[in-house]
Chains A and B, each alone.
Chain A
């Protein structure tokens, strides 16, 4: 009997302890998230901002240095960094759903409409006006990605409000392998080159038996951003955003030019998404169209010399329009410290902030040309500044900023991929893609209007 009692006592104590532990565990997070600023003790005012971002190798260290600089100028304010390597947007949206957002966070041009529409983002116009924050030095296409007018399907509206500051300006480069040009005794690309010149030179560089290709056909991601399409006078969507225009002649012409490189002129290898080695870096491709962020990878090449030229012009329109995309910084409307949130946003997004990032081995250049100079002065390539020239001369806000454009592209891109991967006729595939895209756009409108 006594042993039974002691066992029960033990069980009771253990049970009560378990419940106590559970209660403590459940209560703990509530206590830490309860207040971001903790003025309770009456000690010197101490405030806290939450900064949130996705992260990758080296990024967190760089951003922390810049955040430290801001903290040095704002004594008494602490910043809690919340970094997530995976599924960042899901985490953020879950936070939004629960009403607990960060104060400032990394911004995505593709989500600005959705987030601004639901009132999650803090409009910055009043702060900009109050502080005389100058937007003129920014490349206009970068700012356009964060300007949204209530009710619009896309960013860029003239009378819209500013819902974030762009942090960088990512254009595209036209890189070429000097050794391949030298070996084939072909003159290097010049600023006057058109798409036809690319084909002519590529024919001389191509040697399929030795796996040497004149050019790499621009991939679907490059085309989807608007490169080549805008230069050809094409569009993806009508100005009122009611219909897709993938079957518009000029749009088809741009895709067809890329497709012809592989299947008509046979100067480019068919795309292979599983290829583990970048064909330009492996010295297999004479010319290559890539996002400016590839420069840091290309810079590691030691087997051959390479350089870049401004994008070739479309032979019909004479334009070389490339896309410009900008990540950036958002301040969130739920911030209890909107002034501090703006202070941090503007600190990160202004000329000095952008220059600081560029100096921290950040892989993409600023979108304020003055701040970007140091980044573009670096080598290789010898003429890196031409990429800036390209952006300043003729760039357009990246396609894929309108509402649910990601979902729409995810529907039509695999259709186009049939032409690029399998060689299906590009013209009929673009018609099929148009039907798919249009259907998806109508559904996006339904959700937009709901």
Chain B
């Protein structure tokens, strides 16, 4: 008995010490993450410009966003278009490139590094670079189109083309990251499966569809979930390349949120937007999670 009680005493002491050690990070999370998150929920029900005291307005900010705000609807639509436009082609392309880079080709490491460079480059720098590529008169893209007799559009200067241009750039920039994730997934697939399939006479395409794709589905799921979250949070590229224009064609939710909070100091409206975005992202992730039983294949479970 004495031994047990001294053990539990020791354990209690160690527990206290453990808490002491995690206190800095717990404090950090409480002060810099949890508190602002809860505080902004409160702010979303108020009108507050940092200058005058907060005024409680109930659900008004939320209702206004859906009924009166002229920018929120287009911003939400643009974020949705951007997400769909980047996630589907971006994931497919990353998978194809990963499969290619997984083959035993010369200079494989170099190619992998090259595809990863845009990921480590700062988005702002990449966005400025692409603005030059898209420059209608001097840009390399329209110059190249000109060589084959095509008059290129105004790209970022045209409300019809601007979002498409940003999507292309974002796919290019995000490709390397997803390739690396897929590569890791590919390397965990046992070569025995391919060997057995080829003995059974399955060609490369069949192997891809019946081995690679199903066994990579957990990785694909991960990539899709993260890309959807990232897609709805896009900010830097349209902020730098078009500032949301022309005629609001590329304004996204986070950009509009930034404008409301940091240009117009309408903290209540901005917080309401943040919470709507949060709910949308949580909902989409939940949908993704519930859909996975139809297409995601977990080897261990079978």
Contact = CB atoms under 8 A, between A and B. Distances in A.
Nearest to A21: B24
Contacts of A436: 70
A24 B248 CA distance: 48
A115 B68 CA distance: 27
A18 B155 CA distance: 55
Contacts of A118: 51-52
Interface string B120-148: 00000000000110111110000000000
Interface residues of B, number: 47
B231 to A, nearest CB: 22
Contacts of A410: 71, 259, 263-264
B264 A417 contact: no
Given A18-B20, A406-B263, A274 B155 contact: yes
B50 A96 contact: yes
B158 interface: yes
B110 interface: no
Nearest to B20: A15
B23 A421 contact: no
A450 B51 CA distance: 13
A122 B138 CA distance: 51
B13 A277 contact: no
A281 interface: no
Given A18-B23, A118-B51, A418-B247, A274 B242 contact: yes
A334 to B, nearest CB: 13
A93 B21 contact: no
B10 interface: yes
Contact of A439 (B23, B51, B68): B68
Interface in B212-244: 241-243
B71 A414 contact: yes
A122 to B, nearest CB: 16
Interface in B31-71: 47, 49-52, 55, 68, 70-71
B262 A87 contact: yes
Interface string A1-20: 00010001001101100110
B17 interface: yes
Nearest to A436: B70
Nearest to A96: B51
Interface in B90-124: none
A317 interface: no
Interface in A1-54: 4, 8, 11-12, 14-15, 18-19, 22
Contacts of B158: 421-422
A69 B172 CA distance: 52
Nearest to A424: B247
B159 interface: yes
Contacts of A302: none
A275 B132 CA distance: 8
Given A90-B261, A274-B155, A274-B157, A8 B138 contact: no
A97 interface: yes
Instruction: Indicate the member of A407, A411, A415, A450 with the most B CB atoms within 10 Å.
Output: A407
B137 A211 contact: yes
Interface residues of A, number: 45
B246 interface: yes
A421 B51 contact: no
Instruction: Indicate the member of B51, B71, B162, B251 with the most A CB atoms within 10 Å.
Output: B51
A275 B159 contact: no
Contact of A22 (B24, B245, B261): B24
B8 to A, nearest CB: 14
B145 to A, nearest CB: 16
A120 B247 contact: no
Interface string B147-187: 00000001111110010000000000000000000000000
Contacts of A415: 70, 247
A421 to B, nearest CB: 4
A270 interface: yes
A99 to B, nearest CB: 12
Contact of B159 (A19, A93, A421): A421
Given A120-B51, A407-B264, A421 B24 contact: no
A155 B159 CA distance: 36
A115 B51 contact: yes
Interface string A81-122: 000000101100110110000000000000000110010100
A75 to B, nearest CB: 36
Interface in A105-155: 114-115, 118, 120
Interface string B243-268: 10111100100000001011111100
A447 interface: yes
Nearest to B130: A274
Contacts of B154: 270, 272, 274
Nearest to A119: B51
Contacts of B24: 18, 22
A277 B137 contact: yes
A159 interface: no
Nearest to B165: A274
A406 B126 CA distance: 30
A106 to B, nearest CB: 17
Contacts of B259: 410
A22 B155 CA distance: 52
Given A87-B262, A93-B265, A114 B51 contact: yes
Interface string A270-308: 111111110000001000000000000000000000000
A93 B265 CA distance: 8
A81 to B, nearest CB: 22
Contact of B245 (A273, A284, A406, A411): A273
A406 B49 CA distance: 14
A213 to B, nearest CB: 11
A96 B52 CA distance: 9
Nearest to B68: A439
Contacts of B55: 450
Contacts of A404: 264
B18 to A, nearest CB: 9
5 contacts: A22-B24, A94-B50, A273-B245, A277-B137, A417-B245
Given A415-B70, A421-B245, 19 more contacts: A8-B13, A11-B14, A12-B17, A22-B27, A90-B261, A97-B50, A97-B51, A271-B246, A273-B245, A274-B154, A277-B138, A284-B137, A411-B70, A411-B71, A418-B247, A421-B247, A422-B158, A422-B159, A439-B68
Nearest first, the 5 A-B pairs at minimum CB distance are A272-B157, A274-B156, A15-B20, A93-B50, A421-B246
